[in-house]
Amino acid sequence: MEKNKKCWACKRTLVGDSKMGLCPGCINDYGSIGAAAAALGLAVGGRQLVKHGGKIIKVATKIIKH
């Protein structure tokens, strides 16, 4: 059993509750948890963009041609 968790970013031993497996210093470095969630949303959004990329490019070229 491993009780001491380490921050995956700086390998510092985490004391107490750790969110996202990051130490408080790294959470500051990486921004708030909301920013991480936003990044995740962006990644999902990017995937959707690729899925519907053809349509978007069609519209974009229409705008550029104007």
Please, which residue, 11 or 47, has the CB nearer to Zn ion? 11
Residue 6 amino acid letter: K
The reply to whether 7 sits near Zn ion by the rule CB under 5 A is yes
| Minimum separation from the CB atom of position 18 to Zn ion (A) | 9
The reply to whether 27 sits near Zn ion by the rule CB under 5 A is no
Based on the number of CB atoms within 10 Å of its own CB, is 36 exposed (0-12), middle (13-18) or buried (19 or more)? middle
The reply to whether 10 sits near Zn ion by the rule CB under 5 A is yes
Please, which residue, 12 or 51, has the CB nearer to Zn ion? 12
